[in-house]
Structure 1
Amino acid sequence: MADTLRRLANSETCRLLQDKLEDWYKDYHINSCDNNLNVCCELLELHAKIQGQLFTILSVTAREGGQYAGVETLKSRFLPWLGSCFTTSSSSADSSFSLLQESLERDRKLRDISASQEKDLQRLETQLASTRSELSNVRQDLIEAQIELEDTKTKSASTLLATEEEILQLRSELRSTQDKLELRKLDSLDDYERQIRLLKDEISILSAEKSLLHGRLSRSRSPSPLRHSSRSSSPFLRSESPARLTNSSRRARLISRFNDIFANDRLDAQNLLRRYIDELEMVQRIIFIATVESFHAAKMAFRQFKLRVRKTLSPSHLGPESLEDAVIDYIVRNLDCYDVQSSVNEVISAMNVNPKISFPPEVDFILISGFIREVCRLAFAMQTLEEPLDIGFAVDGELFGENKYRRTYDSELTAPLVCYHVWPTLMESDTVIVKGEAVTKRGALWSPGKSRSRSSSPIRSRSASPGRALTSRSRSPSPLRRSGTPRF
């Protein structure tokens, strides 16, 4: 019996049973039903082994004690236990099985409830996180809205101040514009008075010439042979050419025509260009450049025409007047022989390569060919005078001169430099005959460029010869080109 008990104590079966019971208790809710049943069966098997060894020890102990040893103990403790176990074995097995099923069902329900609770908890945590992020975004938006509101208040206050300043500035500009208009009216009145005086002088000169012509006509009709012979023999009393006799009258008519082109034809061309160009400055630049190029083309054509006439008249010229007077006299009588269309083509070609002006692609500078034709005719006729009339040299950024130009109504009266020109100055040698018109603004920069001489000399350094210059420039009008060098 001592050996059997020693083996039972050394086998550690009871300790293993206890450990398995503790592990099963810990993992009971985690394991599945099959796992729990397997663990229970293992524990029963271990318990059966221990119980078998204990019964062996019980029988050995009873044998060692004799026939009546431990009878009372067996009767009082073992037999009642055996009776109760055998009588209630079937009912307890059924009840234990039902209890086991109920416990399994409760465990499954608990697991399901715990899983659903965990899912609900995770969902609530997700919603809480999203709500917190939305709350932070709303707070940030609120802060930004407050900042924008403050900025709007500040800008509104600054805009109100700027509006008041603009109103004051507009009032001051209105007053300055009214002052400019008054000054321009005064300048116009002065110019009109000066022109009236010039016209009165011209009328008096014409009256004197008329009386002189009447006297000469009456003398020429006299039958006195002595007077006729004395006039023909005296070198100082030769007859003068019609060009010399009417020089002052033609000069007055040409000046009047120059003013008429400025007052009427220029405005018609300007209104025609404004249909296609919105900028008034660009329109005025185009008209000014067209006028300058027309004078240049007409002067070149006049020189060529004069050379051809001199070449034609020189072999047969025998009259009392000089060859130069005869040439001018012929040109005055045959102004219709001037090929004005060739000059118009030259002007349009020169404007196409001028970088200071631009034109819409759907139209061409031929649109103002009528204005160019009139200016070319006027400039050609001005070259036939005894002292040819020409326009003054002009360049953007030059110093404004009161004796050469009038300011436009939108000019700055205190600006010292010319921003751009509206109409050229008409000059006789170095004397200003008719003032031009220019726009003065502050900040107008003088930009150096190629300029063209306006001297009355027939010799020009622009090209190698007048024929070469005329050949190079007499071409048909081409479409608008944006590149090139300035013409003035």
Structure 2
Amino acid sequence: MADSLRRLVSAESCRLLQEKLENWYRDYEINTCDQNLNRCCEIIEMNSVIQGQLFTILNETSREGGHYAGVETIKTRLLPWLGTCFSCAASGGLFESGLSFIQDSVEKERQLRQLATSQTFQLQELQEELTSTRLELDHVQQELVRSRSPSPRRSRSPSPLPLRSCSPGRARRTNASRHACLVARFGDIYANERLDAETLLRTYITDKEMVQRIIYTAAVESFQTAKMAYRQFKMRVRKTLSLGHTELESLEDTVLDYIVRHEDLYDVQASVNEVIRSMNMNPKISFPPEVDFIVISSLIRELCRVAFSMQTLTPPLDIAFGIDGELFSETKYHRSLDSDFTAALVAYHVWPALMENDVVIVKGEAVTKRGALWSRRSRSRSRSRSRSVSPLLSHLSRSRSPSPLRSGSPRH
């Protein structure tokens, strides 16, 4: 419960809600009807988020007290309030029921379309696999008939059967399953590890913007470092396996299959050290000299692992390129709660978007503010930061073992 309450306090959602209410009251008379409605919807959304977090804390608190603790408080405080809310909402029940009926109909229609598409795709995969199995069975039957028929050259040793390869349908299902797992893991990192790292950094840095910039930079550097490590690892595996292969297409499939089955050979610690080194030289972020970016090494490690695994997909997944001052894209990013929803330019990024080719798979998060970019540039001219490596990082770089990506052979 304490962790949930700490996150609610550190998010400063209530203060932001009060500020938006005051701004709306101040500009209500000069706003248009659409602007006032947008402000009202925005405040309702923020209030629902805060209420959801409070109900989560209420549930955790009551669970900590046991079966009977807090029963009287819930009876005297919570249940009468809930009854009042339901009675107040009864007047608009007809409209809400009609709206909910329409929403349910649209949702059911969407689910039916998705189910039909999924069943069609699965049927095509099964048909392809069945065709591949039939061809293999015909080949085996022909070999069996030839082996039983008399022949003057019976003494010759029969030619070996080709090894059974994975059918296209099975390969696509495996790739789709790994794709779904990695996308879900990327979302878990955003929801859990990112918030833990942000809470940890707030103990050293009071500037929330700088904390979010550090986490975004860590994500970008982790993907770049993991992609470079994957390319080097793939080159070594191809060089080793090319000695026993003659067909280029078969070699590429074998190399990819080997990397997928032996992802544990990836030296993720070497990538973590490289990411921290790159972050220490990044002029857009700063950190107190008595600590180091190694405090968020757990977040960097998980990002490197996910980024490395995403390179083994067909096609691979990558994060979108983002730069301060770019035009905000609704298809790529969500706006943070403390954003200016009327601003068109991105002040800074909180989390990158996940892309497949040029299609957005998972939206990122960005902050939009009017004039924030120019104020950030003016502050960056006056900010100076020592780029000397901390004793902890220098000790780590001296004591770490050589990476298999930089040595001649993978680890065992």
TM-score range, shorter chain: 0.5 to 0.7
Residues 210 and 348 of structure 1, relative CA distance in 2, 3 Å threshold: same
Structure 2 residue aligned with 1:339:
267
Counterparts of 1:324-335 in structure 2, within 5 Å, are 324-335=252-263
| Aligned pair partner of 1:409 in 337, 341, 346 | 337
Task: Provide structure 2 residue ranges, at least 5 long, that are not aligned to the other structure.
Answer: 1-19, 29-35, 50-102, 146-158, 378-391, 396-412
TM-score (norm 2): 0.57
CA contact (8 A) 1:410 1:439 kept: yes
Say what the alpha-carbon RMSD is for the aligned residues: 4.2
Cα deviation, 1:91-138, whole Å, max 9, x if unaligned, reads: xxxxxxxxxxxxxxxxxxxxxxxxxxxxxxxxxxxxxxxxxxxxxxxx
| Aligned pair partner of 1:225 in 121, 140, 158 | 140
| Aligned pair partner of 2:238 in 282, 306, 310 | 310
Give the whole-Å Cα distance in 2 for the aligned partners of 1:442 and 1:219: 65
Give the whole-Å Cα distance in 2 for the aligned partners of 1:167 and 1:214: 60
CA contact (8 A) 2:332 2:364 kept: yes
CA contact (8 A) 2:310 2:317 kept: yes
Give the whole-Å Cα distance in 2 for the aligned partners of 1:375 and 1:332: 17
Residues 324 and 397 of structure 1, relative CA distance in 2, 3 Å threshold: same
Q: CA deviation at 1:345?
A: 0.4
Residues 222 and 433 of structure 1, relative CA distance in 2, 3 Å threshold: same
TM-score (norm 1): 0.49
Structure 1 residue aligned with 2:42:
180
1:254 aligns with 2:182: yes
Residues 317 and 347 of structure 1, relative CA distance in 2, 3 Å threshold: same
1:350 aligns with 2:278: yes
Q: CA deviation at 1:213?
A: 8.9
Structure 2 residue aligned with 1:399:
327
Counterparts of 1:194-233 in structure 2, within 5 Å, are 204=119, 208=123, 211=126, 215=130, 225-226=140-141
Give the whole-Å Cα distance in 2 for the aligned partners of 1:431 and 1:326: 28
Q: Percent identity?
A: 54
Structure 1 residue aligned with 2:17:
none
Moved more, 410-419 or 354-363: 354-363
Give the whole-Å Cα distance in 2 for the aligned partners of 1:201 and 1:312: 45
Q: CA deviation at 1:315?
A: 1.0
Give the whole-Å Cα distance in 2 for the aligned partners of 1:273 and 1:346: 20
Q: CA deviation at 1:355?
A: 1.2
DSSP-derived class of the 1:437 partner: strand
Give the whole-Å Cα distance in 2 for the aligned partners of 1:361 and 1:201: 58
Counterparts of 1:28-427 in structure 2, within 5 Å, are 169=23, 171-172=25-26, 179-182=41-44, 204=119, 208=123, 211=126, 215=130, 225-226=140-141, 239-240=166-167, 244-318=172-246, 322-427=250-355
Q: CA deviation at 1:326?
A: 1.1
Q: CA deviation at 1:180?
A: 2.7
Give the whole-Å Cα distance in 2 for the aligned partners of 1:410 and 1:221: 61
Residues 200 and 301 of structure 1, relative CA distance in 2, 3 Å threshold: farther
DSSP-derived class of the 1:277 partner: coil
Q: CA deviation at 1:430?
A: 1.0
Residues 369 and 228 of structure 1, relative CA distance in 2, 3 Å threshold: farther
Residues 272 and 429 of structure 1, relative CA distance in 2, 3 Å threshold: same
How many residues are paired up?
A: 278
Cα deviation, 1:187-224, whole Å, max 9, x if unaligned, reads: xxx9xx8xx97996996588558856985797699698
Give the whole-Å Cα distance in 2 for the aligned partners of 1:366 and 1:202: 46
Q: CA deviation at 1:249?
A: 1.2
Q: CA deviation at 1:278?
A: 1.2
Q: CA deviation at 1:233?
A: 11
DSSP-derived class of the 1:445 partner: helix
Counterparts of 1:18-33 in structure 2, within 5 Å, are none
Task: Provide structure 1 residue ranges, at least 5 long, that are not aligned to the other structure.
Answer: 1-165, 449-475, 480-488
Give the whole-Å Cα distance in 1 for the aligned partners of 2:314 and 2:200: 36
